[in-house]
Amino acid sequence: MASSLPPRSSASSYLKKENAGPARRPMGFKVAPRRNVLSAISNGEANGGTPSASVDGGGGGGGAAEAPPVVEFSGREDVDRLLAEKMKGKSKNDFKGRCDQMSEYIKKLRACIRWYMDLEDGYLAEQEKLRGSIDAENARHTELEAQLSNAIEELKAANMDLTRRCRSLEESFNKEVSEKMIAVESYEKEKQGREAAESTRDILAVDLERVTHDAKRFSEQLKMVQDTNKRLQEYNTSLQQYNSNLQADASKSGETISKLQKEKSVMMETMTTLRECNSSMSNQLESSRVSQQEAIRVKEELRKEVECLRVELKQVRDDRDHSVSQLNSLNLELSNCKEHIGKSSKEHESLSTKVSELEETCNRQQEQIQTFQKHLAVATEKLKLADVTAIEAMTGYEEQKQKIKYLEERLSQAESQIVEGDEVRKKLHNTILELKGNIRVFCRVRPLLGHDGDSNGPEGASISFPTSVESAGRGIDLINQGQKLSFSYDKVFAHDASQEEVFVEISQLVQSALDGYKVCIFAYGQTGSGKTYTMMGKSGVHHKGMIPRSLEQIFMTSRSLESQGWKYSMQASMLEIYNETIRDLLAPVRSNCFEMNTSKQYTIKHDPHGNTTVSELTIIDVFGIGDVTSLLEKAAQIRSVGKTQMNEQSSRSHFVFTLKISGSNENTGQNVQGVLNLIDLAGSERLGKSGSTGDRLKETQSINKSLSALSDVIFAIAKGDDHIPFRNSKLTYLLQPCLGGDSKTLMFVNISPEASSVGETICSLRFASRVNACEIGIPRRQTQARPFDSRLSYGTQPRAYGNIVLAICYYATKKLAVGTATNLVNSIRGH
């Protein structure tokens, strides 16, 4: 019994503890190992619904008393059930049964206690863990608190700062508000003031109107007054002049008066002396008068005597005259007689000699007559013979006459054939040019100059000329950075080509201008590449450029065409286009600055016949090469010249020489109107290289603009665009009729051989290739009477006959075998 008590007490103490448990460890049950509890319950159920049943079964087995109890606890309910378990079915005296039951129960209690102890251990461990985490939490908390307090401090400070700022902002706001108020007030005031001012302005405007009206009236009056004033002044000046004249007269009169007074005093003196003289004289006179009377009387007597004597004298004179005349006539007769006698004696002598001579001659003549008679006989015979030959000659003469007539007819036929042949030549010439393309491009490479300072050797090793048969004289190769670029054009002139050789190639084109075509020859290229050298040339016969050579040819040919009845008249004009402004290079007033001329408006106009006029431009009639050469020299000096890094004497403008040619043929009634334009373009270099700024930059930009306008026009024409942008630059607009369909264009592309220019050179060559690829329609001559199709009838298939046409043209131009050429052409026509 005693042994059964302790478990009870221990159970009660356990209950006490267990009662206090939940308060002390509220989390204990939650942490309990669930798996054990579930297994305990499942075991209990499997053993008969309650744990005691299994205990009972175990007890029934007897041998299993010492086996460890399998009771396990999952929670309070299990414990409560255990505590509520009662002794069942055993009588009070069945101690053994009760004891077994008790021991069983004790075992269960022990198990229960053990479970509790395990639980407690778990709780303790957990508690430890929790404590540790609490400590950590506390530490973190304190840390956070510290941070928080810091943050609070900071916030406080920030708050303070903000409040301070807020306060200052409020102050400034208040200030602003007050200022605004003031401003509003002043605005109001101003507004009022403005309104007042406006009203006054209106009033003033009315006043002003009135006043201006008055002023106008006054000014009119003033003008009138000024007019009158002026007139008065004029009147005044005339009066003053009159006055001064009068004063001058007065002073002169005063002088004369004083002179006269002096004279008067002198006169007075002389008068007194004269008076004295007079009195003495009158005395003398008296006495004289007496003697005079006597003298008169004597004189009267003497006169009578003289009368008598005169009569006598006259008689005597008459007698003398008569006798003198008689004497003279006698003398004359005498001398005549003397002469007569002299002459007669001489005549007598000469006659006697003559008679003897005549006798001699008579004898001789008789002899001669005899010989003559003999001659005569011979001559008459001869005459008979001559008559016969004369008749023969007459018939010969008639024959000759007929021959001459025939030959004359032949001649006129031949002449007309020549004219016809010339026409054919022109047509063929034109066809050749057509075959060559109407925009033709020649490339010219200038030689290296002394100052070029290039390491490429004298010929500029980077440029070479292919020698293969198909590209000889037409190709050019350029080696740039080891890369070879090949180009080909209608003609390529190497550095050693002379001006003469170059001109030979363009002379036919120049000839076209005389035939009535519009011809344009450009020189394109960078500054210093030889444009001006090519077009104008230098002094010296061999260096003459294309312009003087063309003019020489034109004047020469026009003179030689005179024999065919052609009469030509030519007009020259020269201008330059600088920064898109036209300058007249032949304007008569030439004060070395252009300001005087820029006031003129040079406007370009085209009439429907394709003639271009530039208003106010000087046009000069030229009759020979001499006229043109002096004009060219004058213009070349005037051309504006600028400085860039590339060439000191570079021309920065486009130079345009225009020769208008009108010709008429009396024989055929034909009229032609040709134009020859020779253009030295400004340098084509791009902006970067010339290092330009300011005015130079503007120059370069306008040059680039007009050159690209030129290429745009050429390409648009070649593409057959509806709109050709002629108006984009002065240059293209000026040349519009000469760039259009019915003209012939040649472009020289000039190139420098220096290695430093290679970039520009490539640009120029590329541009030229693009131009060379262009075809600009069919050129047409400008003729008036007898218009004809400038193409021959076989023009539709020109390439098939190209070589034949060329051969014919060669003969035709050489004026050999014109008839043959014409026949050939006719046979081709029939072909």
Binding-site residues for ATP sit at 525-532
3-class DSSP assignment, residue 475 = strand
How many other C-beta atoms are found inside a 10 Å radius of the C-beta of residue 687? 12
**Quick one: what does residue 538 bind among Mn ion, ligand ADP, none, with the CB cut-off 5 to 8 Å set by partner type?**
ligand ADP
- 179 phi, psi to nearest 5 deg: -60, -40
- Of residues 107 and 531, the one with the C-beta less far from Mn ion: 531
> Could you tell me the end-to-end alpha-carbon distance of the chain, in angstroms, rounded to an integer?
162
Tell me the number of residues near ligand ADP by CB under 6 A: 16
**Quick one: what does residue 740 bind among ligand ADP, Mn ion, none, with the CB cut-off 5 to 8 Å set by partner type?**
none
**Quick one: what does residue 647 bind among Mn ion, ligand ADP, none, with the CB cut-off 5 to 8 Å set by partner type?**
ligand ADP
All residues at 6 or more sequence positions from 123 whose CB lies less than 8 Å from its CB, including other chains: 25, 27, 28, 31
* CA separation for the pair 773, 767 (Å, rounded): 10
**Quick one: what does residue 460 bind among Mn ion, ligand ADP, none, with the CB cut-off 5 to 8 Å set by partner type?**
none
CB of 764 to ligand ADP, least distance (A): 11
Q: Which of residues 670-699 bind ligand ADP (CB under 6 A)?
A: 683
Per residue, the 3-state secondary structure of 345-402, as one string, reads HHHHHHHHHHHHHHHHHHHHHHHHHHHHHHHHHHHHHHHHHHHHHHHHHHHHHHHHHH
Residue among 54, 101, 430, 527 that touches ligand ADP (CB under 6 A): 527
CB of 680 to Mn ion, least distance (A): 6
- Of residues 531 and 730, the one with the C-beta less far from Mn ion: 531
Residue among 59, 122, 447, 466 that touches ligand ADP (CB under 6 A): 447
Check residue 532 for interaction with Mn ion (CB under 5 A): yes
Check residue 446 for interaction with ligand ADP (CB under 6 A): yes
Residue among 438, 750, 764, 790 that touches ligand ADP (CB under 6 A): 750
Check residue 651 for interaction with Mn ion (CB under 5 A): yes
**147 vs 137, 139, 157, 160, 161, CA distance in Å?**
15, 12, 15, 19, 20
* Residue number of the CB atom closest to Mn ion: 532
CB of 717 to ligand ADP, least distance (A): 26
CB of 575 to Mn ion, least distance (A): 16
Q: What is the torsional sign of CA 211, 217, 222, 225?
A: negative
- Of residues 732 and 750, the one with the C-beta less far from ligand ADP: 750
* CA separation for the pair 735, 102 (Å, rounded): 141
Rounded to the nearest 10 degrees, the angle between the axes of helix 76-84 and helix 5-24 is: 150
Check residue 531 for interaction with ligand ADP (CB under 6 A): yes
Check residue 647 for interaction with ligand ADP (CB under 6 A): yes
> What is the per-residue DSSP string for 444-470?
EEPPPPGGG--TTTTTTTTEE---STT
Q: What is the torsional sign of CA 302, 307, 310, 315?
A: negative
> What is the per-residue DSSP string for 240-291?
HHHHHHHHHHHHHHHHHHHHHHHHHHHHHHHHHHHHHHHHHHHHHHHHHHHH
- Of residues 71 and 678, the one with the C-beta less far from ligand ADP: 678
* CA separation for the pair 519, 679 (Å, rounded): 11
**Quick one: what does residue 421 bind among ligand ADP, Mn ion, none, with the CB cut-off 5 to 8 Å set by partner type?**
none
All residues at 6 or more sequence positions from 98 whose CB lies less than 8 Å from its CB, including other chains: 87, 90, 92
Query: What's the Rg (C-alpha) of the chain?
Result: 74
The structure tokens listed for 667 are 């024989």
- Of residues 446 and 583, the one with the C-beta less far from ligand ADP: 446
CB of 533 to ligand ADP, least distance (A): 3
- Of residues 446 and 549, the one with the C-beta less far from Mn ion: 446
Residue among 532, 557, 684, 732 that touches ligand ADP (CB under 6 A): 532
**Quick one: what does residue 21 bind among ligand ADP, Mn ion, none, with the CB cut-off 5 to 8 Å set by partner type?**
none
How many other C-beta atoms are found inside a 10 Å radius of the C-beta of residue 348? 10
* CA separation for the pair 70, 40 (Å, rounded): 8
**Quick one: what does residue 530 bind among ligand ADP, Mn ion, none, with the CB cut-off 5 to 8 Å set by partner type?**
ligand ADP
With tokens 């009138």, the residue in question is: 224
- Of residues 52 and 677, the one with the C-beta less far from ligand ADP: 677
- Of residues 122 and 447, the one with the C-beta less far from ligand ADP: 447
* CA separation for the pair 252, 274 (Å, rounded): 31
In one-letter notation, the amino acid at residue 51 is: P
Binding mask 221-260 for Mn ion (x = CB under 5 A): ----------------------------------------
CB of 756 to ligand ADP, least distance (A): 14
CB of 553 to ligand ADP, least distance (A): 20
- Of residues 360 and 500, the one with the C-beta less far from ligand ADP: 500
| Number of residues in the chain | 831
Which range binds ligand ADP by CB under 6 A, 233-241, 442-450, 612-620, 659-667?
Answer: 442-450
Check residue 525 for interaction with ligand ADP (CB under 6 A): yes
CB of 634 to Mn ion, least distance (A): 17
Q: Which of residues 406-425 bind ligand ADP (CB under 6 A)?
A: none
Q: Which of residues 409-448 bind Mn ion (CB under 5 A)?
A: none
CB of 685 to ligand ADP, least distance (A): 10
CB of 784 to ligand ADP, least distance (A): 38
Check residue 533 for interaction with ligand ADP (CB under 6 A): yes
- 411 phi, psi to nearest 5 deg: -60, -45
CB of 495 to ligand ADP, least distance (A): 7
**63 vs 56, 107, 111, 497, 616, CA distance in Å?**
13, 16, 20, 143, 152
- Of residues 426 and 531, the one with the C-beta less far from ligand ADP: 531
Question: Closest Cα to residue 514, out of 563, 466, 559, 478?
Answer: 559
CB of 794 to ligand ADP, least distance (A): 40
CB of 487 to Mn ion, least distance (A): 23
CB of 668 to Mn ion, least distance (A): 42
* CA separation for the pair 241, 244 (Å, rounded): 5
Annotated binding site: 525-532
What are the residues facing 748 on neighbouring strands?
A: 442, 523
**Quick one: what does residue 525 bind among ligand ADP, Mn ion, none, with the CB cut-off 5 to 8 Å set by partner type?**
ligand ADP
- Of residues 533 and 726, the one with the C-beta less far from ligand ADP: 533
Quote the DSSP letter at residue 681: P
Quote the DSSP letter at residue 530: S
- Of residues 710 and 812, the one with the C-beta less far from ligand ADP: 710
* CA separation for the pair 820, 812 (Å, rounded): 9
Rounded to the nearest 10 degrees, the angle between the axes of helix 95-436 and helix 5-24 is: 30
- Of residues 673 and 750, the one with the C-beta less far from ligand ADP: 750
**Quick one: what does residue 427 bind among Mn ion, ligand ADP, none, with the CB cut-off 5 to 8 Å set by partner type?**
none
Residue among 338, 374, 538, 814 that touches ligand ADP (CB under 6 A): 538
The structure tokens listed for 150 are 């810091």
Residue among 64, 157, 302, 449 that touches ligand ADP (CB under 6 A): 449
Binding site for Mn ion (CB under 5 A): 531-532, 651
Binding site for ligand ADP (CB under 6 A): 446-447, 449, 525, 527-533, 538, 647, 650, 683, 750
